[in-house]
Amino acid sequence: MTTNDNISKAAEIISKAKKIVAFTGAGISAESGIPPFRGENGIWNKYDPDSLDIDYYYRHTKESWKVIKEIFFDFFNNNEIKPNPGHYVLAEWEKEGKLKCVITQNIDDLHRIAGNKVVHEFHGNSSRFVCKQCDAVYPLKEIKITEEPALCPRCGHLLKPDFIFFGEGIPQDAYQNSVEAANDCDVFIIIGTSGQVSPANMIPGIAKRKGAIIIEINRDRSLYTDYITDIFLQGKAGEILPKLKIRNQGSNHTPSNY
- The residue within the footprint of ligand APR, chosen from 100, 160, 236, 243 (CB under 6 A), is 236
Which residues, numbered 200-219, are part of the site for ligand APR (CB under 6 A)? 217-219
- 123 is known as an active-site residue: yes
Count of residues in contact with ligand APR, rule CB under 6 A: 24
In whole angstroms, the minimum distance from the beta carbon of 200 to ligand APR comes to: 6
Report in angstroms the alpha-carbon separations of 3 from 8, 9, 189, 239. 9, 10, 18, 13
Q: What are the backbone dihedrals phi and psi of residue 3, each rounded to the nearest 5 degrees, phi first?
A: -85, 155
Q: Which of 161, 134, 4, 133 is nearest to 68 (CA)?
A: 161
Q: Does 31 bind ligand APR (CB under 6 A)?
A: yes
Task: Measure the N-to-C terminal CA separation of the chain; round to a whole number of Å.
Answer: 19
- Contact between 171 and 3 (Cβ < 8 Å): no
Q: In this complex, which beta carbon is closest to ligand APR, that of residue 64 or of residue 218?
A: 218
Cβ within 8 Å of residue 137, ≥6 positions away: 128, 129, 130, 131, 162
Q: Does 27 bind ligand APR (CB under 6 A)?
A: yes
Q: Does 30 bind ligand APR (CB under 6 A)?
A: yes
Q: Does 229 bind ligand APR (CB under 6 A)?
A: no
CA angle (157 as vertex; 152, 162 as ends), nearest 5: 60
Q: In this complex, which beta carbon is closest to ligand APR, that of residue 146 or of residue 198?
A: 198
Which residues, numbered 60-119, are part of the site for ligand APR (CB under 6 A)? 105
Task: Give the C-alpha separation, 104 to 29, whole Å.
Answer: 11
CA atoms lying within 13 Å on the CB side of residue 135: 0
In whole angstroms, the minimum distance from the beta carbon of 120 to ligand APR comes to: 13
In whole angstroms, the minimum distance from the beta carbon of 134 to ligand APR comes to: 26
Q: Does 45 bind ligand APR (CB under 6 A)?
A: no
- Options 60, 120, 123, 253, the catalytic residue: 123
Q: Which residues bind ligand APR (CB under 6 A)?
A: 25-27, 30-31, 36-39, 42, 105, 123, 192-194, 196-197, 217-220, 222, 236-237
